[in-house]
Amino acid sequence: MRRRRMDVPLLADTVGMEKNRTEKVHAEEERDAESEKERTERGSSVRAARPVAIVVGGSSGIGLEVACALTLKGYTVVNVSRRVCENGRVKNITADIAQGEELEHALQEAGREHGEIALLVYSAGCSLAAPLEFAKEADIRYLFEINYFGAVRAVRSVLPFMKKQGGGIFLISSLGGTFPVPFDSFYSSSKAALDMLVRCVRTELRRYKITLTAVQPGGTSTSFTFKRKVYADEENGEYAKDVHKAVAALGNIEQGGMEPRAVAEEIVSQILKKEPSITFATGGKNKAYRLMERMLPEKWTEYWNNKKYNQ
Protein backbone atom coordinates (compact mmCIF):
# COMPACT_ATOMS: atom_id res chain seq x y z
CA MET A 1 0.00 0.00 0.00
CA ARG A 2 1.43 3.35 -1.03
CA ARG A 3 1.82 6.08 1.52
CA ARG A 4 0.86 9.71 1.09
CA ARG A 5 3.08 11.89 -1.04
CA MET A 6 5.23 14.28 0.93
CA ASP A 7 6.15 17.66 -0.48
CA VAL A 8 7.90 19.23 2.52
CA PRO A 9 10.79 18.16 4.75
CA LEU A 10 9.55 15.37 6.97
CA LEU A 11 9.50 16.37 10.64
CA ALA A 12 6.66 14.66 12.52
CA ASP A 13 5.74 13.05 15.81
CA THR A 14 5.89 9.28 15.29
CA VAL A 15 4.66 7.95 18.63
CA GLY A 16 1.26 6.97 17.22
CA MET A 17 2.87 5.46 14.15
CA GLU A 18 5.20 3.30 16.22
CA LYS A 19 2.31 2.18 18.45
CA ASN A 20 0.30 1.08 15.42
CA ARG A 21 3.27 -0.80 13.99
CA THR A 22 3.89 -2.59 17.28
CA GLU A 23 0.24 -3.59 17.57
CA LYS A 24 0.32 -4.89 14.00
CA VAL A 25 3.42 -6.98 14.75
CA HIS A 26 1.80 -8.52 17.80
CA ALA A 27 -1.40 -9.32 15.90
CA GLU A 28 0.49 -10.98 13.07
CA GLU A 29 2.56 -13.06 15.45
CA GLU A 30 -0.53 -14.29 17.26
CA ARG A 31 -1.73 -15.70 13.96
CA ASP A 32 1.56 -17.39 13.18
CA ALA A 33 1.23 -21.16 13.50
CA GLU A 34 4.85 -21.62 14.52
CA SER A 35 4.65 -19.63 17.75
CA GLU A 36 3.54 -21.23 21.01
CA LYS A 37 3.00 -24.72 19.62
CA GLU A 38 6.71 -25.09 18.86
CA ARG A 39 7.68 -23.81 22.31
CA THR A 40 5.47 -26.29 24.09
CA GLU A 41 6.58 -29.26 22.02
CA ARG A 42 10.29 -28.60 22.35
CA GLY A 43 10.36 -28.41 26.12
CA SER A 44 12.55 -26.43 28.46
CA SER A 45 15.76 -28.41 27.84
CA VAL A 46 15.60 -27.71 24.11
CA ARG A 47 14.81 -24.05 24.71
CA ALA A 48 17.99 -23.70 26.73
CA ALA A 49 20.00 -24.88 23.69
CA ARG A 50 18.58 -22.32 21.30
CA PRO A 51 21.13 -20.24 19.40
CA VAL A 52 21.45 -16.69 20.67
CA ALA A 53 20.89 -13.75 18.35
CA ILE A 54 21.72 -10.16 19.27
CA VAL A 55 19.83 -7.45 17.41
CA VAL A 56 21.22 -3.96 17.93
CA GLY A 57 18.39 -1.53 17.24
CA GLY A 58 15.60 -4.09 17.53
CA SER A 59 12.95 -1.82 19.05
CA SER A 60 11.58 -0.38 15.80
CA GLY A 61 11.64 -0.60 12.01
CA ILE A 62 13.57 -3.33 10.24
CA GLY A 63 15.38 -4.33 13.43
CA LEU A 64 12.10 -4.95 15.23
CA GLU A 65 10.78 -7.11 12.41
CA VAL A 66 14.01 -9.13 12.26
CA ALA A 67 13.93 -9.68 16.04
CA CYS A 68 10.31 -10.86 15.89
CA ALA A 69 10.98 -13.18 12.96
CA LEU A 70 14.02 -14.75 14.63
CA THR A 71 12.00 -15.70 17.73
CA LEU A 72 9.83 -17.82 15.45
CA LYS A 73 12.89 -19.50 13.92
CA GLY A 74 14.15 -20.95 17.17
CA TYR A 75 16.49 -18.19 18.34
CA THR A 76 16.81 -16.64 21.76
CA VAL A 77 16.76 -12.98 20.77
CA VAL A 78 18.30 -10.13 22.74
CA ASN A 79 17.60 -6.54 21.72
CA VAL A 80 20.14 -3.83 22.54
CA SER A 81 18.82 -0.29 22.15
CA ARG A 82 17.70 2.77 24.10
CA ARG A 83 14.08 1.69 23.88
CA VAL A 84 12.64 -1.67 24.85
CA CYS A 85 11.38 -4.04 22.17
CA GLU A 86 7.72 -4.61 23.03
CA ASN A 87 7.66 -8.17 21.75
CA GLY A 88 7.41 -10.27 24.90
CA ARG A 89 9.59 -13.03 23.44
CA VAL A 90 12.56 -10.70 23.02
CA LYS A 91 14.92 -10.00 25.91
CA ASN A 92 16.15 -6.42 26.32
CA ILE A 93 19.33 -4.72 27.42
CA THR A 94 19.03 -0.95 27.29
CA ALA A 95 22.01 1.02 26.06
CA ASP A 96 22.69 4.28 24.26
CA ILE A 97 24.46 3.14 21.11
CA ALA A 98 26.04 6.55 20.66
CA GLN A 99 27.90 5.92 23.91
CA GLY A 100 30.45 3.33 22.83
CA GLU A 101 31.12 1.91 26.27
CA GLU A 102 27.41 1.36 26.94
CA LEU A 103 27.05 -0.68 23.77
CA GLU A 104 30.13 -2.74 24.48
CA HIS A 105 29.07 -3.45 28.07
CA ALA A 106 25.59 -4.48 26.92
CA LEU A 107 26.94 -6.95 24.38
CA GLN A 108 29.45 -8.35 26.84
CA GLU A 109 26.65 -8.77 29.36
CA ALA A 110 24.62 -10.73 26.81
CA GLY A 111 27.62 -12.87 25.97
CA ARG A 112 28.39 -13.69 29.58
CA GLU A 113 24.77 -14.58 30.30
CA HIS A 114 24.33 -16.90 27.33
CA GLY A 115 27.87 -18.14 26.84
CA GLU A 116 27.84 -18.17 23.07
CA ILE A 117 26.44 -15.80 20.44
CA ALA A 118 25.46 -17.32 17.10
CA LEU A 119 24.22 -14.21 15.33
CA LEU A 120 24.61 -10.43 15.38
CA VAL A 121 22.30 -8.13 13.43
CA TYR A 122 23.30 -4.47 13.58
CA SER A 123 20.26 -2.42 12.58
CA ALA A 124 20.92 0.91 14.32
CA GLY A 125 21.15 4.00 12.14
CA CYS A 126 20.35 7.68 11.73
CA SER A 127 20.20 10.19 8.89
CA LEU A 128 21.19 13.84 8.45
CA ALA A 129 19.91 16.09 5.65
CA ALA A 130 22.26 19.06 5.26
CA PRO A 131 24.74 20.46 2.74
CA LEU A 132 28.35 19.54 3.37
CA GLU A 133 29.35 23.20 3.55
CA PHE A 134 27.12 23.97 6.52
CA ALA A 135 26.79 20.62 8.29
CA LYS A 136 27.96 20.79 11.90
CA GLU A 137 30.87 18.58 12.80
CA ALA A 138 29.09 17.36 15.94
CA ASP A 139 26.16 16.13 13.83
CA ILE A 140 28.47 14.40 11.36
CA ARG A 141 30.39 12.66 14.12
CA TYR A 142 27.18 11.56 15.86
CA LEU A 143 25.90 10.00 12.63
CA PHE A 144 29.10 8.05 12.08
CA GLU A 145 29.11 7.01 15.74
CA ILE A 146 25.72 5.33 15.24
CA ASN A 147 26.00 4.11 11.65
CA TYR A 148 29.63 3.00 11.45
CA PHE A 149 31.61 3.02 14.68
CA GLY A 150 28.72 1.42 16.57
CA ALA A 151 28.80 -1.45 14.09
CA VAL A 152 32.56 -1.80 14.53
CA ARG A 153 32.19 -1.92 18.31
CA ALA A 154 29.35 -4.43 18.07
CA VAL A 155 31.34 -6.79 15.87
CA ARG A 156 34.42 -6.58 18.10
CA SER A 157 32.33 -7.14 21.23
CA VAL A 158 30.67 -10.35 20.03
CA LEU A 159 33.76 -12.00 18.57
CA PRO A 160 34.99 -13.56 21.84
CA PHE A 161 31.59 -15.27 22.17
CA MET A 162 31.38 -16.30 18.51
CA LYS A 163 34.83 -17.55 17.62
CA LYS A 164 34.52 -20.99 19.23
CA GLN A 165 31.54 -22.21 17.19
CA GLY A 166 31.38 -19.70 14.33
CA GLY A 167 28.40 -17.54 13.51
CA GLY A 168 26.88 -14.88 11.31
CA ILE A 169 27.12 -11.09 11.38
CA PHE A 170 24.62 -9.01 9.40
CA LEU A 171 25.11 -5.26 9.11
CA ILE A 172 22.09 -3.34 7.82
CA SER A 173 23.58 -1.02 5.23
CA SER A 174 21.52 0.73 2.54
CA LEU A 175 21.15 1.03 -1.20
CA GLY A 176 22.06 4.64 -0.41
CA GLY A 177 25.61 3.41 0.06
CA THR A 178 25.63 2.50 -3.65
CA PHE A 179 23.39 5.25 -5.02
CA PRO A 180 24.31 8.59 -3.39
CA VAL A 181 21.49 10.52 -1.72
CA PRO A 182 21.88 14.27 -2.38
CA PHE A 183 22.26 16.30 0.81
CA ASP A 184 22.33 13.06 2.83
CA SER A 185 25.96 12.52 1.94
CA PHE A 186 27.12 11.48 5.40
CA TYR A 187 24.47 8.77 5.61
CA SER A 188 25.45 7.44 2.17
CA SER A 189 29.13 7.59 3.09
CA SER A 190 28.63 5.71 6.35
CA LYS A 191 26.68 2.95 4.59
CA ALA A 192 29.31 2.63 1.86
CA ALA A 193 31.87 2.26 4.65
CA LEU A 194 29.82 -0.58 6.17
CA ASP A 195 29.77 -2.39 2.83
CA MET A 196 33.54 -2.25 2.55
CA LEU A 197 33.99 -3.21 6.20
CA VAL A 198 32.05 -6.40 5.54
CA ARG A 199 34.09 -7.28 2.48
CA CYS A 200 37.39 -6.76 4.31
CA VAL A 201 36.58 -8.40 7.63
CA ARG A 202 35.11 -11.52 6.01
CA THR A 203 38.66 -12.48 5.03
CA GLU A 204 39.96 -11.88 8.54
CA LEU A 205 37.31 -14.00 10.24
CA ARG A 206 36.82 -16.89 7.84
CA ARG A 207 39.30 -19.00 9.84
CA TYR A 208 36.74 -18.93 12.65
CA LYS A 209 33.83 -19.81 10.34
CA ILE A 210 32.27 -16.40 10.93
CA THR A 211 30.48 -14.90 7.94
CA LEU A 212 29.67 -11.23 7.41
CA THR A 213 26.90 -9.87 5.23
CA ALA A 214 25.92 -6.33 4.26
CA VAL A 215 22.18 -5.89 3.72
CA GLN A 216 21.15 -3.10 1.34
CA PRO A 217 17.48 -2.21 1.78
CA GLY A 218 16.10 0.42 -0.55
CA GLY A 219 13.17 2.62 0.41
CA THR A 220 11.39 1.08 3.40
CA SER A 221 8.21 2.38 5.00
CA THR A 222 9.23 2.96 8.62
CA SER A 223 9.37 5.83 11.09
CA PHE A 224 13.01 6.33 10.10
CA THR A 225 11.73 8.85 7.54
CA PHE A 226 10.35 11.08 10.27
CA LYS A 227 13.35 10.78 12.57
CA ARG A 228 15.78 12.20 10.01
CA LYS A 229 17.51 15.35 11.20
CA VAL A 230 16.77 18.06 8.62
CA TYR A 231 18.42 21.45 8.84
CA ALA A 232 16.16 24.50 8.64
CA ASP A 233 16.24 26.70 5.56
CA GLU A 234 18.29 29.40 7.29
CA GLU A 235 20.93 26.80 8.20
CA ASN A 236 21.09 25.52 4.62
CA GLY A 237 21.73 28.94 3.09
CA GLU A 238 21.68 29.02 -0.68
CA TYR A 239 21.13 25.23 -0.77
CA ALA A 240 17.78 25.45 1.03
CA LYS A 241 15.54 24.91 -1.97
CA ASP A 242 17.50 21.90 -3.21
CA VAL A 243 17.65 20.37 0.27
CA HIS A 244 13.88 20.77 0.52
CA LYS A 245 13.32 18.95 -2.79
CA ALA A 246 15.78 16.15 -2.01
CA VAL A 247 14.30 15.46 1.44
CA ALA A 248 10.75 15.37 0.08
CA ALA A 249 11.75 13.00 -2.74
CA LEU A 250 13.60 10.74 -0.31
CA GLY A 251 10.58 10.62 2.00
CA ASN A 252 8.33 9.61 -0.90
CA ILE A 253 10.76 6.85 -1.89
CA GLU A 254 10.86 5.51 1.65
CA GLN A 255 7.16 5.70 2.46
CA GLY A 256 6.26 4.25 -0.93
CA GLY A 257 8.78 1.44 -0.54
CA MET A 258 8.81 -2.03 0.99
CA GLU A 259 7.16 -2.92 4.26
CA PRO A 260 9.76 -3.66 6.97
CA ARG A 261 8.31 -7.12 7.52
CA ALA A 262 9.03 -8.01 3.88
CA VAL A 263 12.60 -6.73 4.24
CA ALA A 264 13.05 -8.76 7.43
CA GLU A 265 11.83 -11.93 5.70
CA GLU A 266 14.58 -11.60 3.09
CA ILE A 267 17.17 -10.97 5.78
CA VAL A 268 16.11 -13.99 7.83
CA SER A 269 16.12 -16.12 4.68
CA GLN A 270 19.79 -15.19 4.21
CA ILE A 271 20.53 -15.80 7.89
CA LEU A 272 19.26 -19.37 7.58
CA LYS A 273 21.49 -20.12 4.59
CA LYS A 274 24.68 -22.08 5.12
CA GLU A 275 26.55 -19.59 2.92
CA PRO A 276 24.78 -16.20 3.01
CA SER A 277 25.54 -13.55 0.43
CA ILE A 278 28.36 -11.06 0.95
CA THR A 279 26.14 -8.12 -0.03
CA PHE A 280 22.52 -8.22 -1.13
CA ALA A 281 19.75 -5.76 -1.87
CA THR A 282 16.21 -6.48 -0.69
CA GLY A 283 13.31 -6.49 -3.13
CA GLY A 284 13.33 -7.21 -6.86
CA LYS A 285 13.32 -3.54 -7.88
CA ASN A 286 16.29 -2.73 -5.65
CA LYS A 287 18.21 -5.73 -6.96
CA ALA A 288 17.65 -4.39 -10.47
CA TYR A 289 18.87 -0.92 -9.45
CA ARG A 290 22.02 -2.41 -7.95
CA LEU A 291 22.70 -4.39 -11.13
CA MET A 292 22.09 -1.28 -13.22
CA GLU A 293 24.64 0.69 -11.19
CA ARG A 294 27.25 -1.97 -11.85
CA MET A 295 26.65 -2.18 -15.58
CA LEU A 296 26.00 1.41 -16.69
CA PRO A 297 28.49 4.32 -16.90
CA GLU A 298 28.82 6.39 -13.73
CA LYS A 299 27.74 9.62 -15.42
CA TRP A 300 24.50 7.97 -16.60
CA THR A 301 23.63 6.66 -13.14
CA GLU A 302 24.53 10.06 -11.64
CA TYR A 303 22.14 11.79 -14.06
CA TRP A 304 19.36 9.29 -13.30
CA ASN A 305 19.95 9.57 -9.56
CA ASN A 306 19.88 13.39 -9.61
CA LYS A 307 16.61 13.33 -11.54
CA LYS A 308 15.11 11.03 -8.95
CA TYR A 309 15.87 13.56 -6.21
CA ASN A 310 14.80 16.59 -8.30
CA GLN A 311 18.29 18.05 -8.52
Q: Is residue 8 one of the residues assigned to a domain?
A: no
Range of the domain at 151: 15-308
CATH number, domain of 46, equals 3.40.50.720
- Tell which wins on pLDDT, 34 or 212: 212
C-beta of residue 77 within 8 angstroms of C-beta of residue 55: yes
Smallest Cα–Cα separation from 177: which of 86, 279, 32?
A: 279
pLDDT above 70 covers what percent of the chain? 85
The CA distance from 171 to 169, in Å, is 7
Q: Give residue 149's identity as a one-letter amino acid code.
A: F
- Closest residue by Cα to residue 285 from 263, 302, 306, 311: 263
Q: What is the pLDDT of residue 171?
A: 98
Measured CA angle at 65 (ends 22, 186), to 5 deg: 105
Averaged pLDDT of the chain: 88
pLDDT band per the 50, 70, 90 thresholds, residue 19: very low
User: Is residue 152 a part of any domain in this protein?
Assistant: yes
Beta strands in 38-116 (DSSP E): 52-56, 76-81, 91-94
Question: 73, 54, 66, 204: which is closest to 117 by C-alpha?
Answer: 54
Query: How many domains does the chain contain in total?
Result: 1
- For 64-90, letters b (16+ CB in 10 Å) and e give bbbbbbbbbebbbbbbbbeeebbbebb
Mean pLDDT of 73-88: 96
Q: Residue 7 domain-assigned?
A: no
Residue 258 CA, distance from chain mean position: 14
| C-alpha distances out from residue 201 to 116, 183, 238, Å | 20, 29, 41
Residue at 2 is within a domain: no
Q: How many angstroms separate the CA atoms of 71 and 67, rounded?
A: 7
pLDDT of residue 49: 76
Indicate whether 147 belongs to any domain. Answer: yes
β-pairing verdict for 76-81 and 119-122: unpaired
Evaluate if residue 135 carries a pLDDT over 70: yes
For 138-163, write each residue's pLDDT tens digit. 999 999 999 999 999 999 999 999 99
DSSP annotation string for 114-166: HS---EEEE-----EE--TTT--HHHHHHHHIIIIIHHHHHHHHHHHHHTTT-
Q: What number of other Cβ atoms are within 10 A of residue 48's Cβ?
A: 9
Within-domain flag for 4: no
Percent of the chain whose pLDDT exceeds 90: 81
pLDDT in tens, 283-306: 999 999 999 888 999 999 999 999
Residue 132 lies in a domain: yes
Residue pLDDT, tens place only, 97-116: 999 899 999 999 999 999 99
For residue 13, the model assigns a pLDDT of: 45
pLDDT given for residue 15 in this prediction: 42
Q: Is residue 288 part of a domain?
A: yes
